[in-house]
Amino acid sequence: MASDLRTRLEAEDEAALRGARGTTPISEVVARKKVCLSGVLQSITYSAIGRPAQLNAILYDGTGTVELRWLGRRDIPGIRVGLHLEVEGTATPQGDHLVMMNPLYRILPQTH
């Protein structure tokens, strides 16, 4: 019950921030169309040593998630879980989720 309330409050917070920024809700993304999204990073995954460099992150905006994938990067200074980002690029479906490859990004000021 408490986790449901927390999830609802987080979604409301992200919706308010997204509205103030004028970005598109992830739930309304049209595949293969350029879009500007904003949200909070829920997770970051780094590629293993010996594998091609790739950094993956999950962006959540209260309506859904999108996987951000930066090829050729093992790290991006300043990027961490809990950070708010605005990203721009083209989202494409891969399996059951959306992926945005090498998006332009802007680290947003912390609101809390």
The domain spans of the chain are 22-107
Q: Hey, is 106 helix, strand or coil?
A: strand
Question: What's the pLDDT at 82?
Answer: 93
pLDDT, tens digit (0-9, with 9 covering 90-100), for 68-112:
999 999 899 999 999 999 999 999 999 999 999 999 999 998 765
pLDDT, tens digit (0-9, with 9 covering 90-100), for 24-45:
999 999 999 999 999 999 999 9
Handedness of CA 36, 18, 76, 94 (dihedral sign): negative
**CA-to-CA dists, residue 108 to 47, 65, 68, 86, 98, angstroms:** 25, 18, 16, 7, 22
Question: What's the pLDDT at 41?
Answer: 96
Q: Hey, is 28 helix, strand or coil?
A: helix
Give the CATH class of 22-107: mainly beta
Contact 58/65 with Cβ under 8 angstroms? yes
**48-61: string of b/e by CB count within 10 Å (b at 16+)?**
eeeeeeebebbbbb
Residue position matching structure tokens 């998006």? 103
